[in-house]
Amino acid sequence: MIANFEGKTAVLTGAGSGFGLECARIGAQRGMNLVLVDVQRDALEAAHEELSAQGVKVLSRCVDVSQADAMQALAEQTYTQFGAPHLVFNNAGVGAGGLVWENSLADWQWVLGVNLWGVIHGVRLFTPMMLQAAKLDALYQGHIVNTASMAGLLTPPNMGIYNVSKHAVVALTETLYQDLQLVSDQVGASVLCPYFVPTGIGQSQRNRPDALAHEPLTASQRIGQAMMDKAVHSGKVSAAEVAQKVFDAVSANQFYVYSHPQALGNVAQRMQAIVSQSQPPDPFAARPELGQQLRADLRT
């Protein structure tokens, strides 16, 4: 829980676009010091220019969050300039679809590297700083927010590699919450589970690493990309609205943060199937035409 953001420090990965940028904008409005992290240099430079013009202190670093050494250097630079951060938003993420057996080793390494290892690095490097700050200052308040997805609570087909990464982030963050409860009342945690929201994740291919640059997409990956693009671009909830939900959650010490609470009905069905030992529910029960189209496309 953070009651007052002014003068506090926020570290935000994936800060060049989407949720990261919108949260950085809210942080600037509230007078926070900002540490902006992104792998896309032009987007990062644009964010730095925009936010520093508002009179807040901004440190920006072009970092691949999957790389341990680069994240270690980021943590050290953050501490040197601002001390222990108060808000850490482990948000950087990439999207990838396709049938699970068609994803290459490089696909798995890329998606898990960014979506999961990026969060792991953020947690393992910044949490000790925050806990130490709490020990030294009874008034210190810190909060860690990890971006997962509704795909971390569901198992939609043809996007297994993404599902796996986001389920892991949910489990990591729930465990982080429980662990923090054992040792401190001053540092909290939340997990953000957005549904389809227009952000840059639909264009994740722009940041594919060199190992994948010339690797052609499989048929199922192309189909998955098209479906993702259509769903994301039809989203009615904006990234700015989700960012506000994040700050509200941090202020209220709320753990689960959703962009589309109405999607929790599907989560309840999945949980009931687990408890009753039933088969996994049909993800297209409410929209059977989508399932029919996907089956037809994959079998052609």
Q: What would the DSSP string read from start to end of 56-100?
A: --EEEEE--TT-HHHHHHHHHHHHHHHSS-SEEEE-------B-G
Q: Which residues are catalytic?
A: 162
If residue 193 lies in a helix (H) or strand (E), which one and from where to where? strand 187-193
Among candidate residues 157, 255, 147, the one with its CA nearest the CA of residue 197:
147
Contact predicate 34/286, CB 8 Å: no
Contact predicate 54/26, CB 8 Å: no
Type of residue found at 27:
G
Task: State how far the Cα of 112 lies from the Cα of 225, in Å rounded to an integer.
Answer: 18
